[in-house]
């Protein structure tokens, strides 16, 4: 049983309280961090499956076929790619690295599409070789590269429209306004569609927009959908292609902090699907294409936990309480980069009375190296385990070796068992690419 004041919705579904301590399934989190080492990342499969099924249910608001293409940038690894491929998901990838991991995980290449605002000729050739379901044309330069290719089979292209919409999120996460580097303006999209129609080895098969990430008010997304539908009507009206994939991108927000909005995922996806269906019916008509959604965070964030060990503690002369843990901006850059706010709990005493506000910092040589600017926490001691929920998206994928930090081990909690996903890095990993100088 979890006490009501605990922000349950931020934590994985398999999280339990037992004897007033935090457990993931049957596993005491303090013991796990001590046994497996910290920092440690845990993913809960039940939570991931729950989010996938929320997407599947919500997508019933769209009368045609649909595709959930996981935005690999949120975090990709071989075992995660396998899990998602086995569940029939597609993948949105942006690099040879993501493409290859998705393929090695068993992804059907036809369910992979590739993004990026500066795809190299090599990357385009690799995507063509793989037979991906869509190369998403981001700009006219890229189209010129595609025109010069001589693929054995015609390439399926999607156009990424910049719909000039700004969702309410951090400026770094807005991608769909005219000041952004991403996507084609309306006029460029029309030019691109005409040029594709002239090239026998290119086919226009999809339309796409992605306006940003971590937003809750869906109105800008609905306006983007209207513009995409208008473009679909124009493309088909001109006979320039058949829009078989209709993709309004990803971006649905998730709560990280008890004060954040906490919409029900299934309802957000249903609202989005129903809106898209109406827009298609009103502006385009005819058979429904595949609605391709590209969720990253809303699929995986809640499934992930980050576990740290408490080390140095200080009371500054300013009165501030500082708690230093063994991970920081090297495994979670989000507080430093976006001012992202998190919550946390002590694994052995999550509900002990607070000893006042504390700042949670990491061990790196930066004053920007903090995980939580201010949180009410009980009295902590060196060796205690601090757990940060909502850690599944954009932590490990943006992790670095700054200060020679070793990236954490990752384990999966699946049906009561713990399965390794990634081992902790070693110093040998840090040295793997280095050439020693010849002897003097």
Residues that are catalytic: 365
Give which of 160, 180, 95, 164 is closest to 130, Cα–Cα.
95
Q: What is the number of other CB atoms lying within 10 angstroms of the CB of residue 133?
A: 24
Contact in structure between 293 and 245 (CB atoms under 8 Å)? no
CA distances in angstroms from 359 to 203, 320, 322, 341, 344, listed in the order given: 54, 8, 5, 12, 11
Name the one range near ligand LLP by CB under 6 A: 28-36, 138-146, 209-217, 229-237.
209-217
Q: Minimum distance from CB of 134 to ligand LLP (Å)? A: 12
- Does position 92 interact with ligand LLP (CB under 6 A)? The reply is yes
DSSP 8-state secondary structure symbol assigned to residue 371: E
Residues 110-139 that bind ligand LLP (CB under 6 A): 115
Q: Minimum distance from CB of 375 to ligand LLP (Å)? A: 19
Between residues 341 and 379, which has the closer beta carbon with respect to ligand LLP? 341
Helices (H), 287-368: 297-300, 334-338
Between residues 14 and 169, which has the closer beta carbon with respect to ligand LLP? 169
Q: Kindly tell me which residue out of 32, 33, 71, 329 binds ligand LLP, with binding defined by CB under 6 A.
A: 71
Between residues 234 and 338, which has the closer beta carbon with respect to ligand LLP? 338
Q: DSSP E strands: which ranges in 257-384? A: 290-293, 304-315, 321-325, 345-346, 357-361, 370-376
CA–CA distance, 206 with 239 (Å, rounded to integer):
14
| Length of the chain measured in residues | 440
Q: Minimum distance from CB of 305 to ligand LLP (Å)? A: 17
- Does position 290 interact with ligand LLP (CB under 6 A)? The reply is no
Between residues 210 and 227, which has the closer beta carbon with respect to ligand LLP? 210
CA angle 107–110–111, rounded 5-degree value:
60
- Does position 334 interact with ligand LLP (CB under 6 A)? The reply is yes
- Does position 394 interact with ligand LLP (CB under 6 A)? The reply is yes
- Does position 249 interact with ligand LLP (CB under 6 A)? The reply is yes
Give the three-class secondary structure for 399. Answer: coil
Instruction: Name residue, tokens 């840090």.
Output: 430
Between residues 11 and 342, which has the closer beta carbon with respect to ligand LLP? 342
- Does position 331 interact with ligand LLP (CB under 6 A)? The reply is no
Give the three-class secondary structure for 55. Answer: helix
Binding map of ligand LLP across residues 15-54, x = CB under 6 A, - = no contact = ----------------------------------------
Instruction: Name residue, tokens 């939570």.
Output: 47
CA–CA distance, 74 with 393 (Å, rounded to integer):
5
Contact in structure between 228 and 209 (CB atoms under 8 Å)? yes
CA–CA distance, 189 with 140 (Å, rounded to integer):
9
- Does position 174 interact with ligand LLP (CB under 6 A)? The reply is no
Q: Minimum distance from CB of 252 to ligand LLP (Å)? A: 6
Between residues 255 and 295, which has the closer beta carbon with respect to ligand LLP? 295
- Does position 250 interact with ligand LLP (CB under 6 A)? The reply is yes
Residues 293-312 that bind ligand LLP (CB under 6 A): 294-298
Between residues 93 and 323, which has the closer beta carbon with respect to ligand LLP? 93
CA–CA distance, 363 with 51 (Å, rounded to integer):
33
**What's the half-sphere exposure (Cβ side, CA atoms, 13 Å) at 42?**
31
Closest residue to ligand LLP, judged by C-beta, is 296
Residues that contact ligand LLP, how many (by CB under 6 A): 22
Radius of gyration of the chain (CA): 23
Binding site for ligand LLP (CB under 6 A): 71, 73-74, 92, 115, 173, 175, 210, 213-214, 249-252, 294-298, 334, 338, 394
């Amino acid at each position: 049983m979890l006490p009501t004041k605990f922000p349950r919705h931020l934590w994985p579904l398999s999280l339990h309280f037992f004897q007033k301590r935090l457990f993931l399934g049957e596993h005491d989190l303090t013991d796990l961090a001590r046994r497996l080492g910290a920092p440690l990342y845990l993913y809960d499969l039940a939570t991931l499956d729950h989010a996938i099924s929320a997407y599947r249910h919500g997508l019933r608001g769209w009368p045609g076929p649909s595709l959930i293409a996981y935005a690999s940038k949120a975090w990709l690894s071989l075992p995660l790619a396998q899990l998602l491929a086995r569940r029939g998901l597609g993948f949105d990838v942006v690099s040879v690295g993501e493409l290859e991991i998705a393929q090695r995980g068993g992804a059907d290449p036809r369910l992979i599409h590739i993004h990026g605002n500066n795809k190299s000729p090599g990357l385009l050739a690799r995507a063509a070789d793989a037979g991906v379901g869509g190369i998403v044309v981001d700009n006219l330069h890229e189209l010129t590269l595609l025109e010069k290719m001589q693929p054995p089979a015609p390439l399926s292209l999607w156009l990424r429209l910049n719909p000039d919409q700004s969702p309410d999120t951090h400026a770094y996460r807005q991608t769909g306004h005219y000041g952004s580097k991403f996507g084609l303006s309306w006029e460029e999209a029309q030019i691109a569609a005409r040029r594709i129609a002239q090239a026998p080895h290119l086919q226009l098969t999809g339309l796409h927009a992605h306006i940003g990430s971590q937003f809750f008010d869906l109105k800008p997304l609905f306006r983007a959908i209207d513009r995409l539908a208008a473009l679909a009507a124009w493309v088909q009206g001109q006979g320039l292609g058949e829009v078989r994939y209709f993709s309004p991108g990803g971006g649905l927000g998730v709560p990280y902090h008890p004060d954040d909005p906490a919409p029900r995922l299934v309802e957000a996806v249903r609202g989005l699907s129903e809106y898209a269906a109406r827009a298609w019916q009103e502006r385009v008509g005819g058979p429904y294409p595949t609605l391709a959604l590209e969720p990253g965070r809303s699929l995986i964030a809640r499934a992930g936990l980050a576990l740290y060990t408490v080390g140095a503690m200080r009371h500054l002369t300013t009165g501030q309480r500082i708690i230093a843990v063994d991970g920081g901006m090297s495994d979670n850059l989000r507080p430093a980069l976006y001012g992202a706010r998190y919550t946390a709990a002590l694994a052995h005493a999550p509900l002990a009375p607070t000893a006042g506000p504390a700042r949670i910092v990491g061990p790196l040589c930066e004053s920007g190296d903090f995980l939580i600017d201010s949180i009410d926490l009980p009295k902590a001691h060196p060796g205690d385990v601090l757990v940060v929920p909502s850690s599944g998206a954009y932590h490990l994928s943006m992790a670095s070796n700054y200060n020679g930090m070793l990236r954490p081990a990752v384990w999966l909690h699946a049906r009561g068992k713990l399965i390794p996903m990634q081992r902790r890095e070693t110093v040998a990993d840090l040295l793997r690419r280095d050439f020693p100088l010849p002897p003097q």
